[in-house]
Amino acid sequence: MKDEINTELLTELARLTRRYPPEAWESLLHWLEDETRRKQVVTLLRDLAQLSAGRPSISKKQEKLPSIAHLFGEIQPTDERKADLLRVFWEKLVAREVLPSLGSVRSFAEMVGLKVPTSNKREQAIRDVVRQLANLSYADIEAALEKTAVTSRDFGQEYQRWVNIILRGAGGRNSPQA
């Protein structure tokens, strides 16, 4: 039996203080003054300890996905071209040379058949997209990346074309025929 207490467990319990008013804590203290009730809590905690022994303990750091650099490092030995392609794409994403907005990242993901990122931050969305691309073959990634070049639009030029179409159309209907 350990004499030390798990500080993470105490921290989690301390977080409960925000959820309950002081009266609830006072009531609990009063309730625990009874020896029978304290024994019930001890039994409950033993049961919880047994339940938690059946599931592996995973820290938040272990739950996190590997960094993008780590991902490239894992791909590099088996498929150097794929790792290089993803690395260049990543650098262009970070520099905002391609898919400069969150909306464009989401549109790209949808267009190439990836799961559309739900994050409200572009930085997280580009990580999600690159991780998904890493699961594809080199040829599939290359085909997907070709679509980024097609998707960049010059809205100024597009606007001017619409103005010309509208003016020509209006001028064509209203202009006198010779």
Tokens representing residue 14 in the block = 């301390």
- Using pLDDT thresholds of 50, 70 and 90, give the confidence band for residue 174: very low
CA 67 centroid distance within chain: 12
* Structure confidence by residue, pLDDT tens digits, 117-159: 999 999 999 999 999 999 999 999 988 888 765 545 555 666 6
* Structure confidence by residue, pLDDT tens digits, 69-127: 889 999 999 999 999 999 999 999 999 988 999 999 999 999 889 999 999 999 999 99
What's the rounded Cα separation, in Å, for the pair 117 and 152? Answer: 19
Tokens representing residue 104 in the block = 């464009």
Instruction: Give this prediction's pTM.
Output: 0.51
DSSP assignment of 114-160 equals PPPP--SSHHHHHHHHHHHHHTS-HHHHHHHHHHHHHH---HHHHHH
Closest among 28, 30, 3 to 13, alpha carbons compared: 28
